[in-house]
Chains A and B, each alone.
Chain A
């Protein structure tokens, strides 16, 4: 069953009181599940906006976007139900402990084995002994590992990561990067990462550079 996101001739801009700022134009790209894609580029190039458009969170100013899940064309809402996100700021629920955060997506989907599955994932990310720790008791790397596991735990078709290692040191970044790609491979989902890290981008199946409104393949 094919899952894909097709962006065709996308243009995106926003207006301020004095001028129109154009982020990109005439941009086309297809993202397929089972494949990883990194988007790099300078700050302000519109990487996060492109990610938001690809995830169906934002509507482009011009152009077409088509989501296909299980061979069927779906709308943005259905697309979102099959997506997971990883953020630069981790965004764990501060009032929940590690296992509570991990189990949350499964519980929301009504999975009766949510905590068992969450415990398995905790072992997978080497944080079994931190199950009862709250986010403020965990390091940044540990928090992001929980966030990565939380994004994958409900086996989405696509994962969107916005600067997932932006807040981490080089060594921790590497660990989190490996974890993300391992999980993506294991679950055969599509992984779209916005990053400044060349090392991270190189690990992706495909790496694209967004600069001056144009998207080009990085060799």
Chain B
């Protein structure tokens, strides 16, 4: 009990000092951020799971991008109690002179198998349950769609030349959850209504809602793996559905943010640890002088650290709980009915991870404590090259976190590579500048040569301080630069985009009509590239699901059909990144090229065999090259490209995507084109800009929050840097003043010291940012890295000024004390 009260007393004493406070604040902030993230994501996951239970519309859903043939459908029917088939496609609906892109759902008479379908007479009327979907000849519209089109119940719409009567406003479909985060306008018709209409698009989806018990579900899973390799199975209790996927990606992005934040926290903690270690070694040496075993002292130090962590945790939990409820309130507009809930296991897992990582950072200090000795009180010893040990542990700890958190291996590896390269650069620069400075100043008098001499004597401590400041600067600079450039890119997207109307999908028989319409309206067709819809099902004979277990954005995209294009020459907006591009008119048509990011994320190598399912048939290609997008020459590019000769071997309808430039007068005539070709998918740039603005809004919110956290931790690093080295500076100043130096001279000396440190750190930060920019910009964000030199110089100056200013304030504070006090300290 006595020892425990002593431990608490020591904690209170530690917290009275600047180092203790900064250290605790940093821990609390990190815990708060990661806990908030965990709590929020857990609440959303839980919400999604519960909604899935109530809203899937069946026990199981089988989704494919082509209809099942009669034999397969019969086999499926034999495996389950009931089946309902739905079909989804993107079309354009017109009413009078208005048009809207719509997600049209075609349902059969059995729909829905489970759950509730609710409809109304008007958008404002109370929702009423409906047992079945619309009958033949009728159409149900989503409330937003009805408003946008200005259509009411009783009105008649035209779909592919067929009149359809609006009979209900549809509020809720039980399988709505499968649409995930989609904000698409919705409409529903009976499948027989559309039986003779020219509908069909590459992104069509067929969903088979199934009633099946547990045993039947297992049988279906086994059967589907063999019979339908391209199909996806969604179970009530599988936890795999689109919203979860969307959230997972957001979570992964924040995971990377956590890695960077953790790095910042590690720097701040490392700086405060330096003083903590010195104090603790002294304390333990004194303890041993009155017979306390060193083991007891180290145990007490461990207990102090643990209790401080628990206090941080207490505050972090409290603040995270509060923030969590605020964020949940904000997210309720995206996830209606979402409730903030505490998931103890998940929260404990996060706390456990942070605990282990903080412990990893603390381990070098505890190892050093073992060397605390009573002898040091009798004769002073020197500090060993402990900085390397700290660096090694720090980097290992962060790598561990990166591995646990991030899903984008390439991005994580690039970030870590940039950080490590910047650290190596800063170490080399520090040593070089101080060595050269000292060498230069050897035969010179004055304060600057003396500053170099003193700094070189404290080389290890200086290196650690400079690396900390530099790393903090690098992360801050990179965050701000990425925020600025990403925002700039998104805002200018509309202006730099090739053409003002994107042809996101057109069928072969619509191409002539598009050209005719363009001629009639004075529009220009800028680009049209052919493609077939293809789904990657196997890599080297192994099914996609079994090939790679690690989730990634690429993997998520490849689970759905992608657009496979063909070309003999390298397109003008692509450049060869590796491998060998095929010869013109080659007979060897089974060759394929992909983007480097896909290769990295999917761990592909040249020579790998990729099997695609195209319109129900399998095609095998050998990976021979990789290509990347380069600006100019149009904006349409494809992840996968094959030789032109492949086209004649593939049996599938050709579709096109491209861009057009419309004069102002042509916009009003678009409705006519759509009325004739409802499946023609044209996306006006106005709409695209709106979408980008919305996305930009979300991205800005996330990055602003993230930048706020980075800024906060930067302040901690700066505070830790000043606080951690204050004692050294006080002692140095005291000694210098005792030798007759004036306070003004001491200020100058400190100014040189901080200025040189800040300059090296800032140069390191800029170089690190440059490395990160070159590595990450193009590969991950499709941006060209063209650093604005003025902006960089401005930021560099600001950083050096802030650091020097803080150093000056700290120095002035220490100079106010008398020489006697300084010496006593």
A107-B2, A162-B378 given; A91·B291 CB < 8 A: no
Contact of B373 among A57, A84, A96 (CB under 8 A): A57
Contact of A89 among B6, B287, B288, B377 (CB under 8 A): B377
**For the complex, what is the distance from the CA of A57 to the CA of B283, rounded to whole Å?**
17
The residues of A that contact B16 with a CB separation of less than 8 Å are 95
CB of B556 within 8 Å of the partner chain? no
A48-B378, A57-B374, A136-B824 given; A107·B6 CB < 8 A: yes
What are the interface flags for B277-312 relative to A under an 8 Å C-beta threshold, 1 for contact and 0 otherwise? 000000101111111110010000000000000000
Chain B residue at minimal CB-CB distance from A84: B290
**For the complex, what is the distance from the CA of A80 to the CA of B373, rounded to whole Å?**
12
**For the complex, what is the distance from the CA of A136 to the CA of B5, rounded to whole Å?**
24
**For the complex, what is the distance from the CA of A84 to the CA of B6, rounded to whole Å?**
20
The residues of B that contact A55 with a CB separation of less than 8 Å are 374
CB of A71 within 8 Å of the partner chain? no
**For the complex, what is the distance from the CA of A110 to the CA of B2, rounded to whole Å?**
5
The residues of B that contact A116 with a CB separation of less than 8 Å are none
CB of B789 within 8 Å of the partner chain? no
CB of B744 within 8 Å of the partner chain? no
The residues of B that contact A150 with a CB separation of less than 8 Å are 290
**For the complex, what is the distance from the CA of A111 to the CA of B1, rounded to whole Å?**
10
Counting chain B CB atoms within 10 Å of each CB, which of A51, A81, A96, A154 scores highest? A81
Interface size counted on chain A using CB atoms at 8 A: 35
Shortest CB–CB separation between residue A77 and chain B, in angstroms?
A: 7
A93-B286, A110-B3, A136-B824 given; A105·B375 CB < 8 A: no
What are the interface flags for B630-645 relative to A under an 8 Å C-beta threshold, 1 for contact and 0 otherwise? 0000000000000000
Q: Are B2 and A112 in contact (CB under 8 A)?
A: yes
Q: Are A156 and B377 in contact (CB under 8 A)?
A: no
The residues of B that contact A96 with a CB separation of less than 8 Å are 13
CB of B379 within 8 Å of the partner chain? yes
Chain A residue at minimal CB-CB distance from B380: A89
**For the complex, what is the distance from the CA of A84 to the CA of B288, rounded to whole Å?**
9
The residues of B that contact A1 with a CB separation of less than 8 Å are none
Q: Are A85 and B289 in contact (CB under 8 A)?
A: yes
CB of A28 within 8 Å of the partner chain? no
**For the complex, what is the distance from the CA of A109 to the CA of B286, rounded to whole Å?**
14
Q: Are A105 and B379 in contact (CB under 8 A)?
A: no
Counting chain B CB atoms within 10 Å of each CB, which of A81, A95, A96, A111 scores highest? A95
The residues of B that contact A57 with a CB separation of less than 8 Å are 373-375, 378
**For the complex, what is the distance from the CA of A96 to the CA of B1, rounded to whole Å?**
19
Q: Are B291 and A84 in contact (CB under 8 A)?
A: yes
Tell me the A91-128 residues at the B interface (CB within 8 Å).
Answer: 91, 93, 95-96, 104-105, 107-112, 114
**For the complex, what is the distance from the CA of A214 to the CA of B392, rounded to whole Å?**
48
Contact of A105 among B13, B292, B824 (CB under 8 A): B292
The residues of B that contact A52 with a CB separation of less than 8 Å are 375, 378
Chain A residue at minimal CB-CB distance from B13: A95
Contact of A80 among B1, B3, B283, B291 (CB under 8 A): B291
The residues of A that contact B373 with a CB separation of less than 8 Å are 57
Q: Are A83 and B291 in contact (CB under 8 A)?
A: yes
The residues of B that contact A109 with a CB separation of less than 8 Å are 2, 291-292
A110-B2, A111-B2 given; A104·B290 CB < 8 A: yes
Q: Are A105 and B290 in contact (CB under 8 A)?
A: yes
Q: Are A154 and B291 in contact (CB under 8 A)?
A: yes
Tell me the A151-171 residues at the B interface (CB within 8 Å).
Answer: 151, 153-154, 156, 162
Q: Are A108 and B292 in contact (CB under 8 A)?
A: yes
The residues of B that contact A51 with a CB separation of less than 8 Å are 378
The residues of A that contact B379 with a CB separation of less than 8 Å are 48
CB of A181 within 8 Å of the partner chain? no
Q: Are A108 and B6 in contact (CB under 8 A)?
A: yes
Contact of A107 among B5, B13, B377 (CB under 8 A): B5
Counting chain B CB atoms within 10 Å of each CB, which of A58, A107, A156 scores highest? A107
Chain B, interface size category, equals: 20 to 34
Tell me the A65-85 residues at the B interface (CB within 8 Å).
Answer: 77, 80-85
Shortest CB–CB separation between residue B729 and chain A, in angstroms?
A: 18
**For the complex, what is the distance from the CA of A58 to the CA of B375, rounded to whole Å?**
8
The residues of B that contact A162 with a CB separation of less than 8 Å are 378
**For the complex, what is the distance from the CA of A124 to the CA of B118, rounded to whole Å?**
90
**For the complex, what is the distance from the CA of A104 to the CA of B291, rounded to whole Å?**
11
The residues of B that contact A93 with a CB separation of less than 8 Å are 283, 286
Q: Are A107 and B3 in contact (CB under 8 A)?
A: yes
**For the complex, what is the distance from the CA of A132 to the CA of B286, rounded to whole Å?**
20
**For the complex, what is the distance from the CA of A59 to the CA of B16, rounded to whole Å?**
39
**For the complex, what is the distance from the CA of A107 to the CA of B9, rounded to whole Å?**
12
Tell me the B458-475 residues at the A interface (CB within 8 Å).
Answer: none
Chain B residue at minimal CB-CB distance from A108: B292
Q: Are B3 and A105 in contact (CB under 8 A)?
A: no
The residues of A that contact B2 with a CB separation of less than 8 Å are 107-112, 114
What are the interface flags for B2-39 relative to A under an 8 Å C-beta threshold, 1 for contact and 0 otherwise? 11011000000100100000000000000000000000
Counting chain A CB atoms within 10 Å of each CB, which of B285, B291, B375, B377 scores highest? B291
**For the complex, what is the distance from the CA of A151 to the CA of B292, rounded to whole Å?**
12
**For the complex, what is the distance from the CA of A95 to the CA of B13, rounded to whole Å?**
7
**For the complex, what is the distance from the CA of A83 to the CA of B292, rounded to whole Å?**
9
Counting chain A CB atoms within 10 Å of each CB, which of B289, B296, B375 scores highest? B289
The residues of A that contact B824 with a CB separation of less than 8 Å are 136
Chain A residue at minimal CB-CB distance from B5: A107
The residues of B that contact A104 with a CB separation of less than 8 Å are 6, 286-287, 290
Counting chain A CB atoms within 10 Å of each CB, which of B16, B283, B292, B296 scores highest? B292
Shortest CB–CB separation between residue A218 and chain B, in angstroms?
A: 23
A85-B289, A151-B290, A156-B290 given; A108·B374 CB < 8 A: no
The residues of B that contact A77 with a CB separation of less than 8 Å are 293
Contact of A85 among B1, B290, B293 (CB under 8 A): B290
Chain B residue at minimal CB-CB distance from A92: B286
Contact of B290 among A58, A89, A108, A112 (CB under 8 A): A108
Q: Are B291 and A87 in contact (CB under 8 A)?
A: no
**For the complex, what is the distance from the CA of A82 to the CA of B293, rounded to whole Å?**
11
The residues of B that contact A82 with a CB separation of less than 8 Å are 291
A114-B2, A136-B824 given; A105·B291 CB < 8 A: yes
The residues of B that contact A114 with a CB separation of less than 8 Å are 2
**For the complex, what is the distance from the CA of A114 to the CA of B2, rounded to whole Å?**
9
Chain A residue at minimal CB-CB distance from B297: A108
Counting chain B CB atoms within 10 Å of each CB, which of A52, A80, A89, A114 scores highest? A80
The residues of A that contact B296 with a CB separation of less than 8 Å are 108
Shortest CB–CB separation between residue A180 and chain B, in angstroms?
A: 15
**For the complex, what is the distance from the CA of A85 to the CA of B378, rounded to whole Å?**
10
The residues of B that contact A85 with a CB separation of less than 8 Å are 289-290, 374, 377
The residues of A that contact B288 with a CB separation of less than 8 Å are 80
The residues of A that contact B13 with a CB separation of less than 8 Å are 95-96
The residues of B that contact A95 with a CB separation of less than 8 Å are 13, 16
**For the complex, what is the distance from the CA of A83 to the CA of B288, rounded to whole Å?**
9
Chain B residue at minimal CB-CB distance from A105: B290
Chain A residue at minimal CB-CB distance from B12: A95
Q: Are A154 and B290 in contact (CB under 8 A)?
A: yes
**For the complex, what is the distance from the CA of A104 to the CA of B13, rounded to whole Å?**
14
Counting chain B CB atoms within 10 Å of each CB, which of A57, A96, A136 scores highest? A57
What are the interface flags for B795-825 relative to A under an 8 Å C-beta threshold, 1 for contact and 0 otherwise? 0000000000000000000000000000010
The residues of B that contact A107 with a CB separation of less than 8 Å are 2-3, 5-6
Sampled A-B contacts (5; CB under 8 Å): A52-B375, A57-B374, A80-B374, A108-B287, A154-B291
Nearest first, the 7 closest Cβ-Cβ pairs linking A and B are: A105-B290, A85-B289, A95-B13, A81-B291, A108-B292, A110-B2, A107-B2
Q: Which residues of B contact A (CB under 8 A)?
A: 1-3, 5-6, 13, 16, 283, 285-293, 296, 373-375, 377-379, 824
Given contacts A80-B374, A104-B287, 14 further A-B contacts (CB under 8 A): A51-B378, A57-B373, A57-B375, A57-B378, A85-B290, A87-B377, A91-B289, A93-B283, A95-B16, A105-B290, A108-B3, A108-B6, A108-B287, A111-B2
